[in-house]
Amino acid sequence: MKTRQTSFAESTFLMYIALIVTRILGLIFNTPFYAMVGDEGFFLYTTAYNIYALFLDISTVGIPSAISMIISEYSSLGKTKSKEKAYKIGKYAIIGLSVFSFLSLQLFARSIGSFYLDGLDSIDTDIGINEVATAVRIVSMCILVVPYLGLRRGYLQGHKLFQISSNSQVIEQLVRITFVLGVAFLSLKVFGQTIAFTIYLSLVGTLLAAGAAFLFLEYNIRRNQGVMLQYSDDNEDVVATDRLLRKIVFYCVTISIVSISQSVYNIINTKLLLIGLKNVGYSTEAIFNITNNTTQLVPKICIIVISLSTAMTSSIAPFVADSYAKGDFREVKNRLMQVINIVLVVTAPLAVGIIMLAEPVHVLFYGYVGRFNYGAQILRLAIILNMLSSITMVFNTALQSMQRGKTVCQMVIISIVLNVVMDLPLIYLFNAISIPAYLGATMSSLIAETVLFRMQLVVLKDAVNFDASEAKKVIRKLVKPLAFMAVVVIILQIIVPYNLVGGRVGLFFHLLLYAAVGGIVYIFTAYKTGALELLIGTELGNKLLNLLRRGKK
């Protein structure tokens, strides 16, 4: 049975569901995996994975997304031969870049290990330069498969076969998680192997998962050849190769610069954390724990805060592009203001709740570590960072839809450079004034994200005369609902206190109780103050308002 093509709304929904499912699976996966391999093992796994992510960006440079857009454009024009020619060009480029990236990682794996651990290698730890180098060489094998897998997904998306592409992402994540957890358990608990050897086997799971997704895609591509070739025109005037290359490069530039810049920062940030924390006197065990929390563990929890706002704002790009092209700047401004409304009204209570309950939330996902309380403090600050980044991410998309891609690249690079420059000074400053030094890196990111937000507002003001001062009215409307919710949660903690060492099941039900009662209080109070009226026009807002109005009657 052939897969039907989907509309834009359906496509957005399918891609979002796949994204959320894979991220939630990743969050759940981290809990048992981290418990099994510990701080050193998790550090080795994520260090190799960060390097892999950077070279994955280098070996794709936005080509899958570019091919998706080009295929969609030429399919609608009946230019079957041109779109297939564009796909072949993209395929050859992907293969060449993949081989280059693979060889680079094989040759410079030890240098990468030295970059991370030079100066820490002599401290009492089982994870050294050689272990990082071996892990990098193993994960580099994925570079030979995953970029081409991304290209095939782009090919399907260009033909509006989003269901296949979405399903392949879920399959890839399920296979990876199942393999990694199974191998880690057998290696450590059954065969008594070392942490490093267990991580090497676990990284092979990334390759196997990509292979499973690739086979699924190939099977479905063959089944749907008729759908993808139905617009064929025998008299087609095939687009010249140089023109296709220019088009691919044009689409790739913004995507690749933003993506690669972020990957580079993630690697540099890890290194700066290692240097800064060592210099202010943290133990190796504490350094690994803090680095894992800052770069991997805490960001996974922050998905809880940003996922819903991402879902409701994920469709803003086509609306902005359409309104901007028509010169309807008022509609563009309305959409941008709606983004701010959604983020504040929907994510603010989630953020406040997690900030208040950071310690039990962190323990719920990653277990109780009595000697370390770093994760909870990092989580409190990271939640604020993620609230802001959920706005800047959408504003970047909106600006690209207004043909301001070059400006977006410049702003993102400026914010990342600022972030890198401030990391070490803030770590040292915080340590000098008796604030936990490890919060300096997250504060650096928060300051850089604030600067990015301010730059975006300047550009949006120039482009469509957008003014975000209306957000102050939204914040004033939210003060009372958030305060009431906070008071109720505090009272509940006194009446029904949680126990961090009493087991995760009991902790889960305590948090569920706090969230349910606090959420009801917030929604009711926000309705009374008119804050929920700000969600009019969104499906969630309309449903909530209708439900509350029926209850009032």
Does the pLDDT value for residue 547 go beyond 70? no
Q: Name the residue type at position 384.
A: I
As for how many domains the chain has, the answer is 2
Summarize the confidence of residues 441-445 as an average pLDDT: 95
Asked if residue 515 and residue 394 are part of one domain, the reply reads yes
User: Is 366 a domain residue?
Assistant: yes
User: Is 240 a domain residue?
Assistant: no
Domain's final residue, options 178, 207, 231: 231
Which domain range does residue 277 map to? 266-553
Summarize the confidence of residues 156-166 as an average pLDDT: 77
Asked if residue 295 and residue 178 are part of one domain, the reply reads no
Report the alpha-carbon distance of residue 499 to residue 175 in Å, rounded: 35
Asked if residue 284 and residue 213 are part of one domain, the reply reads no
Asked if residue 345 and residue 227 are part of one domain, the reply reads no
The larger pLDDT score, comparing residue 16 to residue 495, is at 495
Report the alpha-carbon distance of residue 462 to residue 465 in Å, rounded: 6
Asked if residue 416 and residue 477 are part of one domain, the reply reads yes
Asked if residue 285 and residue 172 are part of one domain, the reply reads no
DSSP state of 123: S
Asked if residue 278 and residue 377 are part of one domain, the reply reads yes
Asked if residue 481 and residue 362 are part of one domain, the reply reads yes
User: Is 43 a domain residue?
Assistant: yes
What's the pLDDT tens digit per position in 508-518? 999 999 999 99
Task: For residue 119, give the 3-state DSSP assignment.
Answer: coil
Give the best-scoring range by mean pLDDT among 1-10, 267-276, 333-342: 267-276
Does the pLDDT value for residue 261 go beyond 70? yes
Does the pLDDT value for residue 406 go beyond 70? yes
Does the pLDDT value for residue 310 go beyond 70? no
User: Is 485 a domain residue?
Assistant: yes
Give 505's contacts (C-beta < 8 A, 6+ positions apart).
Answer: none
Give the pLDDT band (50/70/90) at residue 307. low
Give the pLDDT band (50/70/90) at residue 6. very low
The mean pLDDT of the chain is 84
Asked if residue 493 and residue 446 are part of one domain, the reply reads yes
Q: What pLDDT sits at residue 13?
A: 54
User: Is 110 a domain residue?
Assistant: yes
Asked if residue 317 and residue 171 are part of one domain, the reply reads no
Report the alpha-carbon distance of residue 461 to residue 367 in Å, rounded: 46
DSSP state of 390: H
What's the pLDDT tens digit per position in 464-495? 988 878 778 888 889 999 999 999 999 999 99
What's the pLDDT tens digit per position in 27-78? 788 889 999 999 889 999 999 988 998 899 888 877 887 787 778 777 767 7
Summarize the confidence of residues 321-333 as an average pLDDT: 77
Percentage of the chain exceeding pLDDT 70: 85
Count other Cβ atoms within 10 Å, centred on residue 421: 12
Domain's final residue, options 210, 231, 252: 231
User: Is 259 a domain residue?
Assistant: no
Q: What pLDDT sits at residue 103?
A: 97
The closest alpha carbon to 16, from 306, 433, 346, belongs to 306
Lowest mean pLDDT among 149-158, 168-177, 270-279: 149-158
Does the pLDDT value for residue 256 go beyond 70? yes
Give the pLDDT band (50/70/90) at residue 16. low
Lowest mean pLDDT among 217-221, 441-445, 540-544: 540-544
Report the alpha-carbon distance of residue 476 to residue 526 in Å, rounded: 11
Give the pLDDT band (50/70/90) at residue 337. confident
Asked if residue 516 and residue 408 are part of one domain, the reply reads yes
Rg of the chain taking only CA atoms, in angstroms: 24
Give the pLDDT band (50/70/90) at residue 247. confident
The larger pLDDT score, comparing residue 458 to residue 249, is at 458
Burial class (CB in 10 A: 0-12, 13-18, 19+), 253: middle
Does the pLDDT value for residue 230 go beyond 80? no
What's the pLDDT tens digit per position in 88-129? 999 999 999 999 999 999 999 999 999 988 766 545 567 889
Q: What pLDDT sits at residue 539?
A: 47
Does the pLDDT value for residue 526 go beyond 60? yes
H or E element in which residue 510 lies: helix 504-529
Asked if residue 280 and residue 224 are part of one domain, the reply reads no
Domain's final residue, options 231, 257, 290: 231
Report the alpha-carbon distance of residue 76 to residue 377 in Å, rounded: 52
User: Is 342 a domain residue?
Assistant: yes
User: Is 452 a domain residue?
Assistant: yes
Does the pLDDT value for residue 317 go beyond 70? no
Q: What pLDDT sits at residue 553?
A: 53
Report the alpha-carbon distance of residue 24 to residue 16 in Å, rounded: 12
> Six-digit token pair at 36?
């099994």
For residues 251 and 70, the answer to whether their CB atoms sit within 8 Å is yes
Does the pLDDT value for residue 370 go beyond 50? yes
Query: DSSP string spanning 465-487?
Result: ---GGGHHHHHHHHHHHHHHHHH
Q: What pLDDT sits at residue 12?
A: 47
What's the pLDDT tens digit per position in 164-223? 877 898 899 999 999 999 999 999 999 999 999 999 999 999 999 999 999 999 998 888
Buried b (16+ CB within 10 A) or exposed e, 350-366: bbbbbbbbbbbbbbbbb
- N residues, the chain: 553
